[in-house]
Amino acid sequence: MRKPLIAGNWKMYKTPRESLSFLDAFLPLVVRHNRDELALFPPMTSLGYVLDACARSNVSVGAQNMHWLNEGPYTGQTSPTMLSSIGCSHVLLGHSELRLYFGETDERVNLKLKAAIKHNFSPIVCVGESEADRNAGKTEQTLRSQICTALRGVSAEEADRLVVAYEPVWAIGTGSTANPHVAAEAHGLIRHELGRCCNQALAGKTRILYGGSVKPENISALMQQEEIDGVLVGGASLDPQSFSKIVHYT
Ligand code: PGA
């Protein structure tokens, strides 16, 4: 009932030329693949090129971040209207690297989520505990507060297209993926929280992706978990062969 979503987050990698050569190799490898939804999140300078190249394909394209206002004196920021004007359909919000290095807060994620809904984007809200949180037994508390603050003032109807990505900070870019059972447990917790903050219908239909060192070698075990509705892939989405192996998991 929840169609899996396989998303690639390119972070600060690839020039426009490199992005297009990735697509030359990747799009033929996934043509007609419709078991899962596919999405790519290139860096801002590649976004327009990737949107054009993916226009008639089965791959959706989104931005890695956005401001919540439509315009203003905010150097370096990109607004929802700017993104929708170039045909962007998805947006990542609250990625842990933004939280860690650029002071992203749950309150801002909430403002951005509301703006994304207003502009009809499909938002992917990233949550996840740090290693210190996990070791201190605070995983549940952290995930609960990230979800509830992000969804403050958002109704279940408005959150219709919401996707949540569970990305434990200790698993991102480290090569050590969460054990699929540990990930599934966290997904269960997030789903429970969605039910408490919005309602059960939303909790039942919202896709929760796992992210953190997803590779061709571990995708199958992750996707076997009923609670895992797809993946958000960083490093392994940069290479067309490895990302296509992830897409074709069995
Ligand atoms: P990774 O990144 O797959 O390189 O661990 C995942 C992410 O940050 O979205």
For residue 164, list its beta bridge partners: 125, 208
- The C-alpha angle 67, 143, 65, rounded to 5 degrees, equals 20
Which residues are within 8 A (CB) of 85 and not within 5 positions of it... i.e. 6 or more apart?
none
pLDDT in tens, 132-159: 999 999 999 999 999 999 999 999 999 9
pLDDT grade for 123, boundaries at 50, 70 and 90: very high
Specify the pTM: 0.97
Mean pLDDT (the chain) is 96
pLDDT of 83 above 90: yes
CA-CA-CA-CA torsion sign (70, 234, 60, 154): negative
- The answer to whether 15 and 42 have CB atoms below 8 angstroms apart is no
| 204 against 177, higher pLDDT | 204
Least confident interval from 43-47, 106-110, 121-125, 182-186: 182-186
In whole angstroms, what is the distance from residue 190 CA to residue 194 CA? 6
Average pLDDT over residues 18-47: 98
Query: In this prediction, what percent of the chain has a pLDDT beyond 70?
Result: 100
> In ligand 1, which atom is closest to the CA atom of 236?
3
pLDDT of 178 above 90: no
- The answer to whether 183 and 167 have CB atoms below 8 angstroms apart is no
Average pLDDT over residues 113-118: 98
pLDDT of residue 61: 98
For a substitution probing ligand 1, which of 232, 243, 245 has the most ligand atoms within 8 Å of its CB?
232
Task: Identify the residue whose C-alpha is closest to ligand 1 atom 2.
Answer: 234
Q: One-letter amino acid identity for 133?
A: D
pLDDT grade for 175, boundaries at 50, 70 and 90: confident
Q: One-letter amino acid identity for 216?
A: P
pLDDT grade for 58, boundaries at 50, 70 and 90: very high
| Binding site membership of 234 for ligand 1 (Cβ less than 6 Å) | yes
Structure tokens that stand for 44 in this block: 């801002």
pLDDT of residue 113: 98
Tell me how long the chain is.
250
pLDDT of residue 139: 95
pLDDT of residue 1: 84
pLDDT of residue 169: 92
Nearest to 90 by CA among 165, 25, 190: 165
For a substitution probing ligand 1, which of 218, 233, 239, 246 has the most ligand atoms within 8 Å of its CB?
233
Structure tokens that stand for 67 in this block: 């401001």
pLDDT grade for 23, boundaries at 50, 70 and 90: very high
pLDDT of 42 above 90: yes
Domains of the chain (ranges, CATH numbers): 5-247 (3.20.20.70)
- The answer to whether 106 and 149 have CB atoms below 8 angstroms apart is yes
pLDDT of 174 above 90: no
CA-CA-CA-CA torsion sign (146, 152, 154, 156): positive
Task: Identify the residue whose C-alpha is closest to ligand 1 atom 1.
Answer: 234
Nearest to 66 by CA among 74, 56, 54: 74
